[in-house]
Structure 1
Amino acid sequence: MTNFTLKHYLPYLLLAAIMLVLAWLPEQWQNMLQYNYTDITAGEYWRLITGHLLHSNTWHLVMNIGGLLLAMALHAVYFSYRQLAWQWLLCAVAIGLTLYYFSPDIRIYVGLSGLLHAMLALGAIKDIQLKMTTGWLLLIGLVAKVIMEQCFGPDTDLAELINANVAVDAHLYGVISGITLGVISSVFYRIKTVLA
């Protein structure tokens, strides 16, 4: 593990800044970027990624930035800029594709929460790899949360606050993509260590 410096915050702060800038775009422009099932079917594949960067209202944006700051506080020291870029991109695409193929009833989706769940799962896997008990606690908490959401549905108060349906399937797919990528990365790391 590397020593923590301010540079570890930069990717997270850049992502937050991008979300803030996009929040100021005219609604018509935001509509061209949001995850939209029909438009993705028509070939507008960028929406699989850009939909994660938009939000339904200010409360939604503030909550997602708070989640991003939490992920940053817990795990910023673990990953290089390149690793974060690839993790975020791969998980964003995985979440978008799984929403498209397995949750076609979700026609419009915006928000970072699915990707936040992936980030936290990736960090938990890294904690576990480093033999930290907190990794198991975080991973168990994430899995329990998505199981509860799948069984009992989203929090209605939260849906009212963000003025949108809470896409609990995105949370589930985020955890699955984060765990999958984290485990694959851990296996490659071990193979690389053995061969070195």
Structure 2
Amino acid sequence: MKPAAPATTSAIACLVLIGLLPLLPASTQALLRFERAALLQGEYWRLLSGPLLHADLLHACANGVGLVLLLVLARRSNLPVTPWLLPGLCVGSSVLLLLDSTVSWMVGLSGPLHGLAAWLLIALYRHGQRATALMLLTLLLGKVWLELSQTLPAPTWLSVPLLPEAHVAGLLAGLLMGAAGTALNHLFRLFRPPAQCAARPQP
């Protein structure tokens, strides 16, 4: 039997984790969720654990489906998204912490999912799949605008308030990481030593 790829193993581990965390005792969950006051006091693990923690299993499953869809898109496009997952969680939480002082607490992966989608659209554009990238950008910006303008009704199945601010923070984090990846790629190409030409055979 062919072993699972590292990306597949990482995705499965992430899905199992977000499914198990809502089953923890409430006192433990309180130590894991994104809380602005606790983060400002040095509890920086919440930058990572806050997005992974969900209010309940339904919340976790909904975001898990979104994660799977984006990972499938990345895999079909041959984009190495796995190394960016955990840094993306921390960057998205950091952007939310720095830019919006009104958000006192947050749980859920929806913000980082917006960031992953933003990172993907930049990567797709760079790899020549411009139509797909522009379509994804249009859908993403339209969704966030509708949420911020409160045009869409809040989902009744969600047991925590919808937080468009986290979606905006995730979107900004994804664009930031995508732009950083593009810049690093250009720098690597700029400073990479030229390949030595193969010696020509003597006549």
TM range (shorter): 0.7 to 0.9
Q: 2: distance between equivalents of 1:164 and 1:101? A: 22
Alignment of 1:117-196 (within 5 A): 117-132=114-129, 133-152=131-150, 155-156=153-154, 158=155, 160-196=156-192
1:115 aligns with 2:93: no
* TM superposition shift of 1:178: 0.6
Distance 1:154 1:50, change over 3 A: farther
Shift of 1:137: 1.2
Structure 1 window deviating more from structure 2 (91-100 vs 116-125): it is: 91-100
Contact 1:116 1:174 (8 Å CA) reproduced: yes
Offset at residue 188 of structure 1 (A) = 1.8
CA contact (8 A) 1:117 1:142 kept: yes
| Distance in 1 (alpha carbons) for counterparts of 2:71 and 2:144 | 21
2-side partners of 1:53 and 1:121: how far apart?
Answer: 19
CA gap 1:154/1:46 in 2 versus in 1, 3 angstroms:
farther
Compute the displacement of 1:154 (Å).
6.1
Flag the structure with higher helix content: 1
Q: Is 19-28 or 176-185 further displaced after alignment?
A: 19-28
Q: 1:39 to 1:194 in 2, by over 3 A?
A: closer
Superposition RMSD in Å: 2.0
State which structure, 1 or 2, has the greater radius of gyration over its C-alpha atoms: 2
Question: Cα distance 1:98–1:27, how it changes in 2: closer, same or farther (>3 A)?
Answer: same
Task: Give, in angstroms, the shift of residue 151 of structure 1.
Answer: 2.4
Q: Which runs of 5+ in 1 are unaligned?
A: none
Runs of 4+ in 1 over 3 A off after TM superposition: none
Determine if contact 1:48/1:93 at 8 Å carries over to the other structure: yes
Q: Percent identity?
A: 24
Give CA-to-partner distance per residue, 1:129-175, whole Å, 9 cap, x none. Answer: 1111201211222122222222226641x2x3111111111111111
Of 38-47 and 55-64, deviating more is 38-47
Give the TM-score of the pair, scaled to structure 1.
0.86
1:21 and 1:59, CA in 2 relative to 1: closer, same or farther beyond 3 A?
closer
Distance 2:86 2:61 in 1: 22
